[in-house]
Chains A and B, each alone.
Chain A
Amino acid sequence: MNSDLRTFKNAAWLGWQMEANWTDPFLFATYSVVKPLAGTLILVFMYLVITHGETETAFFSYMYVGNALYMFVADVLFGVTWVIHDDREHYMTLKQVYIAPIRFSTYIFGRAAIKIAITSFGVLLTLIFGVLVLHVDINLGAVNWPLLVVALGLGLSTLAIMGLALGGVTFLTAKHGMGINEGIAGVFYVLSGVIFPITILPGWAQSISKFLPVTYWMEGVRRGLEPGVMAQLGPATGLQGFSDLQLMLILVLAAISFLFISLRIFKYADKIARRKGKIDWTSAY
């Protein structure tokens, strides 16, 4: 246990150094702000082009908040798999970390934890920008804090666990395997009601949506953060029939299931990678 904590702490520290010490703090802060804001503004401009400037609608707030929260999905999945790619292909230190007397998955989670922290900063800034500049409907007095905190915690844990499975797959794929993150995150982007309610998807796609934990996570966090917007949209979100408690139970079940599945995938991929000598391969052609 002590060894795991030490591994986690040192991996997180290493992750922070790798993320942040390449430049001065001011430039790093600017970088951390510009990137997420630009990503969100793409969607804002798409919306503005069609609506000719109307932003004070429930749908705009729904879309904006969903897109801000999606940063967690993309960055947590990416954070976990990037550790393997980066250490293997770029720094070529994966084999040294691998043979060190530590639990490898703890090392990965430690590195990813710092990514979550940096992403949280980006999400927070994006939401503040939305409220102040674009009049996104978030009222701090109306926020359901217990629901928000529990949903956020459960969702982030599930995402990190899912990232572990993708990390296992990254062991076995060449450099373009990094597309796995974008692809899996893309599945959630389309099917989990991130920027539009799942009710506009074809019936078969809605059925898939209801199997994805991110769908319930998005709904839960939105209910916590913008209860007014969710009440206005009502049945349009497609998940109105679920109570808050049911949403949380689904997230708990998802976390437990994915923990089991991800560990199995990771161990299997690890075994194959060792057998095929892929732990320290490089494919930077």
Chain B
Amino acid sequence: MTETWLLRNLRAVKGRAYPRVIGSSREPSWVIFDVLLPLLTVAAYAYIYKFMKAPEEFVGFVILGGAMTAFWLNILWSMASQLYWEKEIGNLSLYLMAPISRMSILAGMAVGGLFETTLRAVSTLVIGIAVFGIALSLSNPVMLIIVFIVTMVALYGMGMMFASLYLLFGREAYHMSSLMTEPIYLASGFYFPVKALGFWAAAGASIIPITLGLDALRQLFYPSTRSEYGFLPMGTELLVLSILCVLFILLSKLSLDYMEKLGKTSGRLTLRWQ
């Protein structure tokens, strides 16, 4: 690994992240479409908790879950499906010909996606807090940042793995992403504590990093609800998330290499409109 190689790949990461970062400022209409309007769905869930006279914390759970949906949607539609779309529009072959690691492209997509999505999620959170007047505890900000970062690394690692797996999909890619929306919202407890699903269902759903990440964030923001609604102790959740980080990044590298090889031998890497 030479310095030139490293710099070249860092430039590739920057180059692939750039359109996503800059796209946010060039198309400011996303503020309406991706922040204000989706907040309405979250508001509906908040109102139903209010209607059922649920504890106040549940409105906070919904706002947090609603903010985190931005990351999951970004994983599905802008990470997992992205290499497939790149294939469809003819960019994939250019990436494969470039003298860079494919992982740099995926990392660039992840960095750019994380940037634009964090902006959206934070906006949703701030507006949700302001509109519904919820109070969040910030007693352990360092842990909060650590949990968030570890969750995001694991989540985007999973997205990178999906991106390579999706490479061999045709139109299944769209349906696969579509299928993994509501069922994952349900399994990961985006709008209610995942503990409500029962231990084994929640444990199974923990393979999706956002399940434990969201649960840990809720425990940090609402320490008083930890014993009643927290799924696992926070330390355990952080440990599992750290393992998922390593696992998914490793698997993404392996699956990318495998799928590229398979794609080349089966001649499907540049096949479009299947």
Binding site for B on A (CB under 8 A): 18, 22-23, 31, 34-36, 38-39, 41-43, 45-51, 63, 90-92, 173-174, 176-180, 182-187, 189-190, 194-197, 200-201, 282-285
The CA of A282 and the CA of B30, in the complex, are separated in Å by 16
- Give the Cβ gap from A69 to chain B, nearest Cβ, in Å: 14
CB-CB under 8 A from B196, the residues of chain A are 45, 48-49
The CA of A216 and the CA of B175, in the complex, are separated in Å by 32
Interface residue B85 (Cβ < 8 Å from any Cβ of A):
yes
CB-CB under 8 A from B30, the residues of chain A are 176, 179
Known contacts A179-B34, A183-B32: does B47 contact A34 (CB below 8 Å)?
A: no
Q: Give the residues from 164 to 198 in chain B that come closer than 8 angstroms, CB to CB, to chain A.
A: 170-172, 174-175, 178-179, 181-183, 185-186, 190-193, 196-197
Secondary structure type dominating chain B contacts: helix
Known contacts A49-B192, A174-B29: does B19 contact A285 (CB below 8 Å)?
A: yes
Interface residue B250 (Cβ < 8 Å from any Cβ of A):
no
Q: C-beta contact mask, B130-168 vs A, less than 8 Å → 1, else 0?
A: 000000000000000000000000000000000000000
CB-CB under 8 A from A195, the residues of chain B are 44, 48
- What 6 pairs across the A-B complex have the smallest Cβ distances? A183-B37, A179-B33, A186-B40, A38-B183, A285-B19, A39-B182
Q: A176-B34, A180-B33 are in contact. List 18 more A-B contacts (CB 8 A).
A: A18-B171, A42-B186, A42-B190, A46-B45, A46-B192, A49-B192, A90-B88, A179-B34, A179-B37, A182-B41, A183-B36, A183-B37, A186-B39, A196-B44, A197-B51, A201-B47, A284-B86, A285-B23
Can you list 30 A-B contacts with CB-CB less than 8 angstroms, sorted by A residue number? A23-B172, A34-B183, A35-B179, A36-B182, A38-B185, A38-B186, A39-B186, A42-B191, A42-B192, A45-B186, A46-B191, A46-B192, A47-B48, A49-B193, A90-B85, A90-B174, A91-B273, A176-B33, A177-B33, A183-B32, A183-B36, A185-B41, A186-B40, A189-B44, A190-B40, A194-B44, A196-B48, A200-B51, A283-B23, A285-B23
The CA of A46 and the CA of B47, in the complex, are separated in Å by 12
Known contacts A47-B52, A50-B54, A176-B30: does B183 contact A285 (CB below 8 Å)?
A: no
The CA of A174 and the CA of B29, in the complex, are separated in Å by 9
- Give the Cβ gap from A184 to chain B, nearest Cβ, in Å: 7
- Give the Cβ gap from B20 to chain A, nearest Cβ, in Å: 6
- Give the Cβ gap from B90 to chain A, nearest Cβ, in Å: 10
- Give the Cβ gap from B63 to chain A, nearest Cβ, in Å: 14
- Give the Cβ gap from B234 to chain A, nearest Cβ, in Å: 21
Which among A41, A48, A176 is the interface contact of B186 at CB below 8 angstroms?
A41
CB-CB under 8 A from A180, the residues of chain B are 33, 37
Flag if A46 contacts B48 (CB, 8 Å): yes
CB-CB under 8 A from A90, the residues of chain B are 85, 88, 174
CB-CB under 8 A from B182, the residues of chain A are 35-36, 38-39, 42
Q: Give the residues from 224 to 274 in chain B that come closer than 8 angstroms, CB to CB, to chain A.
A: 273
CB-CB under 8 A from B86, the residues of chain A are 284
CB-CB under 8 A from A196, the residues of chain B are 44, 47-48, 51
The CA of A173 and the CA of B23, in the complex, are separated in Å by 13
* Count, A-B residue pairs, CB within 8 A: 132
CB-CB under 8 A from B174, the residues of chain A are 90
> Which residue of chain A is the closest to B229 with respect to CB atoms?
A49
The CA of A194 and the CA of B88, in the complex, are separated in Å by 38
The CA of A198 and the CA of B29, in the complex, are separated in Å by 29
Flag if A284 contacts B33 (CB, 8 Å): no
- Give the Cβ gap from A27 to chain B, nearest Cβ, in Å: 9
Q: Give the residues from 31 to 87 in chain B that come closer than 8 angstroms, CB to CB, to chain A.
A: 32-34, 36-41, 43-45, 47-54, 58, 85-86
CB-CB under 8 A from B51, the residues of chain A are 196-197, 200
Known contacts A22-B172, A23-B175, A46-B191: does B85 contact A186 (CB below 8 Å)?
A: no
- Give the Cβ gap from A129 to chain B, nearest Cβ, in Å: 14
CB-CB under 8 A from A200, the residues of chain B are 47, 50-51
CB-CB under 8 A from A39, the residues of chain B are 182, 185-186
